[in-house]
Amino acid sequence: MQKNALLSVSDKSGLVPFAKALVEQHGYRLLSTGGTAKLLEQEGIPVTEVSDYTGFPEMMEGRVKTLHPKIHGGLLARRDKEDHMAAAAEHGIEMIDLVVVNLYPFEETVAKPDVTFELAIENIDIGGPSMLRSAAKNHASVSVVVDAADYDRVLAAMSDEAALLKLRRELALKVFQRTSSYDGAIAAYLEAQVAEAPDLGEISGIPAKLDLQLPQVQSLRYGENPHQKAALYGNFFDCFEQLQGKELSFNNIIDITAATYLIGEFQKPTVAILKHTNPCGVASAETLVEAWEQAFVTDQQAPFGGIIVVNQTMDADLAAIISKIFCEVIIAPDFTPAAREIFAKKKNLRLMTVKGSLPADSLQEMRSVVGGVLMQDRDTMPDRPSDWKIVSKRQPSDEEMRAMIFGWNVVKHVKSNAIVYAGCERTLGVGAGQMSRVDSSKIAVWKAGEAGLPLEGSIVASDAFFPFADGLIAAAEAGAVAAIQPGGSVRDDEVIAAADERNMVMVFTGKRHFKH
């Protein structure tokens, strides 16, 4: 009996050698449509147009071509049922044994900044998912390929019926995973369009229904601890490239994300050192080497086993300095060849580059909770100093304002309760994750003392309001001359009065930056 394969793909990579093998090695007749058929003809591969097979012309700009009983009957007919086969014979329906379809590039289309709604709609595939689902439902008899990476596996299994049947079940699963994610992308896009409609108010960015279909891209050795299983899903490696070093761990990936978000706050050459997602030392300067010296001195223990991130190409000068200490990951837009040569001697060190600009502003954060997930927008709304209020009697100097801006950009990335002491474009002491804001302040002061960094003339930044004056008083006693905080406490008047009594500057930003 003649074996038939239907090929209709948007992504034509690897298709020609696969099609040749089907015809020359396995005796298939090829059915195809549009651009796929033209490609096969150009390559001298015999192919029958679907419209010639069905006797029904392709029409409506290609919207109607494979939605036909001779296609879906050939896919859905059960070979083990006499009535199915009799009906197929009566109506001239031949069996289709193999379907190779990948879908219109809807996700890629709507990701373009200039995409129109009309173009997005035209890139919604109808016939493709229908054929895939029909073939996948009848995978006991039909092989279905939605991923070009499976071409070689299918060809290898064709000589072994048992292996082919086992593979068909796996390929059917991939089909339903793909069509599910495809439908989810369409629904998400349309939901956003509805939310943007002028008569429906402001877009929220939070979907009414959350439907996630993310491919597993890496099975991790373990999670946060060796007894926890873990895997990475999604498109992380579309954003980063690993140049060398050991496989990334669960904790590395979380730290890399935190480091990338933090470094995005700064324009001047900046170095940030993080440990367990918390900034330990951050500085901006005229060169990365100068910035490193100021960031490193904030906490000379933190880089050991930590993450280092910079916002400019790293050269050999800084690479030579950093190579003297042990760290887990270094992230940069790029590394010079000389820097790469230096780091190549540290085989386990993970070097990461960022691929272009990250879509960080559009990302949302999710956390698993009992019975579901929480979703929120990332904390990316810009802080404008022009919107801040100086509530103290004394006005800040230019240098104090620059220090407060810098400290405020850092403190939003520190786990709450968060306190950052800073000078002009450098951290001096960081206190993170304590149950009391006063305790965070004490830790920050202690860290600065350990580093030999005097806090006289420093500023203090707090991610949330000072609930009592005691936190501000402790900062003043440590040497701070200015404080930046959201404000909003019922005791704001007491805190402002304490600042005025000590001739401190007090700035209210009106925006809290809790980070749990």
State pTM to two decimals: 0.71
| pLDDT attached to residue 325 | 92
Distance CA 407, CA 425 (A): 8
Catalytic residue (choose from 3, 137, 268, 346): 137
Contacts of 139 (CB under 8 A, 6+ apart): 168, 169, 171, 172
Q: What count of Cα atoms within 13 Å lies in the side-chain half-sphere of residue 86?
A: 3
Alpha-carbon dihedral sign for residues 338, 342, 346, 351: negative
Residue (of 76, 98, 78) closest to 154 by Cα position: 98
Distance CA 284, CA 509 (A): 22
Catalytic residue (choose from 12, 20, 276, 346): 276
On the 0-12 / 13-18 / 19+ scale of CB atoms within 10 A, 56 is middle
Does the active-site annotation cover 515?
no
| pLDDT attached to residue 426 | 96
Give the angle 55-57-61 at the CA atoms, nearest 5°. 160
pLDDT values of the chain reduced to their tens digit, one per residue, 516 residues: 788 888 888 888 889 989 888 888 888 888 888 788 888 888 888 888 877 787 666 666 666 666 777 788 888 888 877 888 888 788 888 888 899 988 888 888 888 888 888 888 888 888 888 889 888 888 888 889 998 888 998 898 888 888 888 898 889 998 888 888 888 888 878 877 776 554 433 345 677 777 777 788 999 999 999 999 999 998 899 889 999 999 999 999 999 999 999 999 999 999 999 999 999 999 999 999 999 999 999 998 878 889 999 999 999 999 999 999 999 999 999 999 999 999 999 999 999 998 865 544 456 788 889 989 998 888 888 888 999 999 999 999 999 999 999 999 999 999 999 999 999 999 999 999 999 888 999 999 999 999 999 999 999 999 999 888 998 999 999 999 999 999 999 999 999 999 999 999 999 999 999 998
Please count the other Cβ atoms lying within 10 Å of the Cβ belonging to residue 142.
Answer: 24
Which tokens sit at 97? 């044994």
Does the active-site annotation cover 413?
no
| pLDDT attached to residue 174 | 87
End-to-end CA separation in angstroms for the chain: 65
Helix (H, G, I), strand (E, B) or coil at 101: strand
Look-up of token digits 């896919």: 75
| pLDDT attached to residue 203 | 40
